[in-house]
Amino acid sequence: MSSSPRLAWELLERIICFSGGDAETLYSFSLSCSQLRPRSLCLMVANVVIMERKQVAAFRDFVEAYPHLRPFVRSITTQPATFMPFPLLAILPNLTAIIWTTPWPGSPSTVSLPQPVLTSLRRFGTNVTTLDLWKLSFKTLPEFCRMLLAFTSVKRLLCQSLSIRGKVSNNASLELFTQRLSQQLSLRSITMDVGHRTDEAMARLLFNSAHSTVEILSLLFEEDASDRASRIGACLRGLSWPVLRSLTLRLPSDEPIGNTLYVEISNEILKELHPPRLVKVTVYFPPAVGRLLRSMARPKGDHRLCSELDRTLLRSPHSTLVFGSSGRCRRSRKNLWTQELGKHFPKMAERGSLIVASRQSTALGHDDRVYSIVYSPDSKWLATASRDSTVIIWDSLGNLAQQWVAHDGAVRSLAFSPDSRWLASAGEDRKLAVWDVTQGACGIAVLEGHTGEVTSCAWSSDGTLIASGSYDGTVRLWDARTFDQLYSPEPSTPAQAVLDIRFSLDGRWLVSRCSVQCFIRDTMTGKKHEVHWEGEAGKCLTITLNPQSTRLVTGHQSGLVKIWDVRTGELLFRSRQYTRPVVNVAFSSDGMLALSVSGDGTAKIWDTSSGVMHTLSLHRHTLAANVACFSPCGKYVASASSEQTVRVRRVDDVSHDGTLCEHKYSVMFMAFSPDGKILSFGTSGGAVFIRRMHDIIPVEDTNM
């Protein structure tokens, strides 16, 4: 440590800024840097967690042995029954925050403090200005009040997941404690969650006793508690709040905006609350922005309430709408999300008060699970689609070229036209859209008619047809020149969701997959035949067609792999080599080999003419394999699994192995560029990785 070179403070500041405020990164960096280490050692005792009584004694002995560290202790997190106020409160001069909580997991701890403890808190806790109560239970409301009165100097109170077991015996008792709290406490800030466990009497008690002194108020609404939130909101609106300067309303993190109850409650509070000094109002939407946009577009969503909230917030000179999540937001996404949200909240956007708040992520890609990844036939473009409602176009160098919100909901599937000019996208909003990627992702057409989510789309090799499949059980065929529907759909009987559709390479056959059968349609004659499988096969999870347009491979939940004749629907081969479901199948470019991937972590290769297994076990992942594919030359196979690795191997020599493990989430989709030079894959976290083959594994072709 002592011999390490000194760094310029400007460089240290740059490193700290680059960390994005991540506490763990900053902590690790401070301990490894000799210039910051002395101070970082002091920070190690700044926030102490002592959940057991023996830890309390050990920490007391520690600070008595090292008295120079006592002034650096700022907060203590502990259980009420564990923490003994004396002598710690007496020897820690700068201890200003106490967090009382219940260890996770566990039911809420019951707080019942004896009188000596309350007296000790009142005598030695005069420096405590912040009290955070989380996941606790009080026998009665008077016990809760007596605990608060022990902290005579507290200014900032946080109440989360608190419950009162006993009911208030009479209103006179409640009025007495309200009077005592208002006389002896002078709270400046209250943060309270409003959920199904929140005691309404406790909320009224705090509001009535502190409304004349509180300057900052934050309400954190929880899901499935709209009735209680409405009643507590009514109590809030009935008070004057003469010195309130800042109000924050945080909507539930798991409650979609399509359920408009909380937006309506927020509107009611803001309309009827008129504190004379209120200058800052913040309404916080925690869910990921893509999910918010998706729920706004649903039929149950009420855009009127969003517009009303937009207008109501204008009354406050410093009101803001904050959108974000605990996850990370890609560097290039904030402007995109701000633009899209501005369509729903135009007045706040015009005033510059619409904020997308999230920690930055250096990885490029989407903000939610990748659902589709496809290359243009000329290898110039890569297109990716996500649950976050967006499509991204990448150039051949891996640079982000274009991105846009393509649907009101998740984008399930993508397909390029044969000339690489147009891109079709299938959406959760029941629509199929066509985009011109050479004109800045200009919308060409929106094809409507499906009554359920569009799950898959495909473009015929001659460029004349577009096919779409849906949860409504239908497959629709569209003229790719006029975008007219070519025939009325015939739903399967009984109706089954269409999960995948594929055109054969010659464009003659269109295969659609449901969970218990496949339909093979002759696009020239319109005739179709069904491919059924017996009950032992289980649901069909994946399909693929060979390049010669003669064979169909299906992978099943039971571990079976089957090969069918496309023209007749005859079963040619079946084999059960897996103990887990077959989740992905693929053909080599010459059609001689088939690749199957299983949830047991293996990827195997088959001779399609004989059904003989070509390689006993090409890959072995430690967790479930998700996807695999051949390179266009047929010499390499790439596979990915839930263990967060991508592996590339030669088909004829499994000792040549390349592994990528730079991503933090499972890889669900991958694709080789048509020229075979690039392998790209998308993760369940939204990141997209684009890597040249020669950087992964030694390749024969130096141009790769």
**Same-domain check for residues 309 and 382:** no
Q: What are residue 109's DSSP bridge partners?
A: 136
In degrees and rounded to multiples of 5, residue 172 shows phi and psi of -65, -40
CA–CA dist 323, 672 (Å, integer): 36
Q: Is residue 306 part of a domain?
A: yes
Nearest 5°: the CA angle 453, 561, 651 is 105
Pairing of strands 97-100, 75-78: parallel
Please check whether residue 450 is in contact with residue 468, taking contact to mean a CB–CB distance below 8 angstroms: yes
Nearest to 297 by CA among 410, 404, 385, 221: 410
Q: What gap in Å lies between CA 146 and CA 86, rounded to an integer?
A: 19
Mean local confidence (pLDDT), 222-244: 87
Instruction: Show Cβ contacts of residue 223 under 8 Å, excluding neighbours closer than 6 positions.
Output: 195, 252, 253, 254, 255
Give me the pLDDT at residue 616, please: 42
Of 500, 532, 564, the residue that ends a domain is 532
Q: Where are the alpha helices (DSSP H) in 3-114?
A: 9-18, 23-32, 37-43, 53-65, 85-91
Give the list of residues 6+ apart from residue 612 with CB closer than 8 angstroms, or none. Answer: 606
Residue length, the chain?
704
Asked whether the predicted pLDDT for residue 429 surpasses 80, the reply is yes
pLDDT digits (tens, 9 = 90+) for 258-299: 456 788 888 889 988 889 999 999 999 876 676 677 666 655
Q: What share of the chain is helix, strand, coil (3-state, %, to 5)?
A: 25, 35, 40
Domain assignment present for 377:
yes
User: Within a domain: residue 141?
Assistant: no
Per-residue pLDDT at 678 exceeds 60 = yes
Could you identify the residue written with the tokens 């499988």? 533
- 554 bridge partner residues: 543, 562
d(C-alpha 693, C-alpha 704), whole Å: 6
* pLDDT per position as a tens digit, 310-336: 999 988 888 999 887 545 566 667 788
The verdict on 357 and 370 lying in the same domain is no
**Does 296 share its domain with 324?**
yes
**In sequence order, what are the residues at sequence separation of 6 or more whose Cβ sits closer than 8 angstroms to the Cβ of residue 106?**
none
- Domain count within the chain: 2
CA distance 490 to 177: 71
Asked whether residue 205 is assigned to any structural domain, the reply reads no
Tell me the DSSP string of 587-620: E-TTSSEEEEEETTSEEEEEETTT--EEEEEEEE
Q: What is the pLDDT of residue 2?
A: 45
CATH number at residue 500: 2.130.10.10
Neighbours of 351 (CB within 10 A): 14
Band of pLDDT at residue 177, cut at 50, 70 and 90: confident
The mean per-residue pLDDT over the stretch 391-413 comes to: 92
Of the residues 498, 515, 532, the one at which a domain ends:
532
Residues 340 and 368 occupy one common structural domain: no
Look at residue 195 and tell me if it is in a domain: no
User: How distant is the alpha carbon of residue 79 from its chain centre?
Assistant: 32
Assigned token pair, 244: 């309130």
Cβ(555)–Cβ(578) below 8 Å: no
Query: With the C-alpha atoms ordered 146, 147, 150, 154, is the resulting torsion angle positive or negative?
Result: negative
Do 442 and 354 fall within a single domain? Answer: no
454 and 345 within one domain: no
Looking at the fold, whether 330 and 429 belong to one and the same domain comes out as: no
- Render pLDDT for 534-580 as a digit per residue (tens, 0 to 9): 666 678 899 999 999 999 999 998 888 888 999 988 888 888 878 88
pLDDT category of residue 640 using cuts at 50, 70 and 90: confident
> 404 with 515, same domain?
yes
pLDDT digits (tens, 9 = 90+) for 486-522: 876 666 656 689 999 999 999 999 999 988 888 999 9
What does 636-683 look like in DSSP terms, one character per residue?
EEEEEETTS-EEEEESS-TT-EEEE---SS-EEEEEE-TTSSEEEEEE
Domain limit, last residue, from 477, 498, 532: 532
Six-digit token pair at 488?
A: 């009325």
**Comparison of pLDDT for 359 and 357, the residue scoring more:** 357
Q: Calculate ∠ Cα 415-419-423, nearest 5°.
A: 30
Token readout for 561 is: 């792999």
In a domain, 662, yes or no: no
SS3 129: coil
Alpha carbon distance 408, 421 (integer Å): 23
Q: Could you tell me if residue 305 is inside a domain?
A: yes
Band (pLDDT 50/70/90 cuts) for residue 340 is confident
Q: Which amino acid is at 22?
A: D
Amino acid at site 541: L
Model pTM score? 0.77
Judgement on whether residues 506 and 454 belong to the same structural domain of the protein: yes
**Rounded to the nearest 10 degrees, what angle do helices 200-210 and 141-149 cross at?**
40
Contact 37, 28 (CB under 8 A): no
Q: Mean pLDDT for the chain?
A: 84
pLDDT tens for 581-607 read: 998 999 999 988 888 888 777 778 888
Instruction: Tell me how far CA of residue 16 lies from CA of 9, 12, 28, in angstroms.
Output: 10, 6, 11
Alpha carbon 545 to its chain centroid, in Å, reads 34
Q: Are strands 216-221 and 189-194 parallel, antiparallel or unpaired?
A: parallel
Bridge partners for 137 per DSSP: 110, 163
What are 131's strand-pairing partners?
98, 157
Mean pLDDT of 353-367: 76
User: Residue 396: what residue type?
Assistant: S
Which residues span the domain enclosing 413?
363-532
Q: What is the pLDDT of residue 622?
A: 57
Which comes out higher in pLDDT, residue 615 or 429?
429
**Tens digits of per-residue pLDDT, 7-55?**
666 666 666 665 555 556 666 666 666 656 566 666 678 889 998 888 9
Give the chain's count of helices (H) and strands (E).
Answer: 15, 42
CA dihedral sign of residues 304, 309, 314, 315: positive
State how far the alpha carbon of 487 is from the alpha carbons of 424, 476, 477, 479, 493, in Å: 19, 7, 7, 10, 18
Residue 314 is classified by DSSP as G
Mean pLDDT of 643-653: 82
Q: Examine the domain organization and report whether 400 and 355 are in the same domain.
A: no
**Is there a single domain that holds both residue 383 and residue 475?**
yes
Angle, to 10 degrees, between the axis of helix 334-342 and the axis of helix 289-296?
20
CA–CA distance, 220 with 235 (Å, rounded to integer): 15
- Residue range 613-617: average pLDDT? 52
Residues 6+ apart with CB under 8 A from 13: none
Percentage of the chain surpassing pLDDT 90? 40
Query: 355-364, 379-388, 628-637 — which is least confidently predicted?
Result: 355-364
pLDDT given for residue 25 in this prediction: 64
Domain match, 313 and 398 both: no
- Tell me, what's the pLDDT at 258? 43
pLDDT recorded at residue 41: 62
pLDDT at 259: 53
